[in-house]
Structure 1
Amino acid sequence: MFGLFKKKDPLEKLQDKYRKLLAESHTLSQRDRRAGDEKMAEAEEVAKEIDRLKSEGA
């Protein structure tokens, strides 16, 4: 079924989480700058984890 039940690897999961956090941060920043900044900080932590996983894989 063309990858219907294919499991995502940890890197793909983190990249999805990063994209969602960035989108949420953008939405929140339009109403509440502090909440948007907090989401951005969470996204940066996920980005660091992505970089760490990529460097381990290389």
Structure 2
Amino acid sequence: MFGFFKANPVKKLRKEHDAKLEQAMYAQRNGDIRGYAMLTAEAESIWKEIESIESQ
């Protein structure tokens, strides 16, 4: 009945994913390729979490 009060975990994960991709973009622009790779890998793991939640 009050399901609309619950936080949407996918929405939170999408925000985190977008933030990681933005950080990765700035790292790449600054020439920090190692940091770019790490941030992109973190964004990819967050994306896999999103896909697993949405598939349920």
Pairwise TM-score range, normalised by the shorter structure: 0.7 to 0.9
The alignment's TM-score, normalised by the length of structure 2, stands at: 0.83
Name the structure 2 match of 1:28. Answer: 27
The alignment's TM-score, normalised by the length of structure 1, stands at: 0.81
State the distance in 1 between where 2:37 and 2:28 align: 7
Gapped runs of 5+ residues in structure 2?
A: none
Describe the shift of the 1:37–1:9 C-alpha distance in structure 2 as closer, same or farther (beyond 3 A).
same
Larger relative contact order (CA 8 Å, sep ≥ 6)? 2
Gapped runs of 5+ residues in structure 1?
A: 1-5
Q: How many residues align?
A: 51
